[in-house]
Amino acid sequence: MATLSIEPLTKQAFAPFGEVIETNGVVPLSINQGYAKRFNDIANIDVAAEGGQTSISWFVASMRPAPIAIRLMERHPLGSQLFMPLGGTDWLIVVCTDPRNAASYRAFAATGHQGVNYARNCWHHPLLVLKDASAFLVVDRKGDGNNLEEYWLDESTQLELMPEHHEA
């Protein structure tokens, strides 16, 4: 069984799979009489296919045992899916271009101040956290149509991920 290496999450490295959500390099607007900063247009939410609407959810995720077994990939053909950590803890992302091809898999280490917006049809692993009870704001699609495809890896393509347990 192959072990997937983990690389830092950057906008450039993640671009084939969607958007990195972070404020680095974004000039904020001063709002609320100067008591708040607003970072505009940090993600392009894509949910309108087949009459879809935006859904905002709160997820609370648990850690998986290490090494993390990569056995299932999923994608959403009708809309993007944004994950933003709320507690400031680091987390992991696994994506691929073809779930049948182990060479197409990539793993990223995200800081607790980085989110991702998976592009429509991007194959990704379900949420992977490094701390139990990790909360995330999720923006995705609700509406008619099948917006979830799953692919279970066979034994010849299963991968493992060995995270370093640390916090931001």
Residue 168 belongs to a domain:
no
Report yes or no: 126 and 72 within 8 Å, Cβ to Cβ: yes
Tokens of 151: 């692919």
In a domain, 166, yes or no: no
**Bridge partners, residue 53, by sequence:** 142
Residue 1 reports pLDDT greater than 80: no
In this prediction, residue 80 carries a pLDDT of: 98
- On whether residue 139 sits in a domain, the answer given is yes
In a domain, 92, yes or no: yes
| CA–CA distance, 17 with 96 (Å, rounded to integer) | 8
Q: What percent of the chain is predicted at pLDDT more than 90?
A: 89
The DSSP 8-state label assigned to residue 144 in this structure reads: S
- Total number of domains in the chain: 1
Range of the domain at 111: 2-161
The residue to which tokens 């992991």 are assigned: 92
Tell how strand 88-96 and strand 105-112 pair up: antiparallel
CATH at residue 142: 2.60.120.480
Does the pTM surpass 0.85? The reply is: yes
- The three-point CA angle 94-99-145 to 5° equals 90
- Work out the average pLDDT over 95-105: 95
Over residues 110-160, the pLDDT tens digits come to 999 999 999 999 999 999 999 999 999 999 999 999 999 999 998 877 899
The answer to the question of residue 96 being in a domain is: yes
Task: Let me know if residue 152 belongs to a domain.
Answer: yes
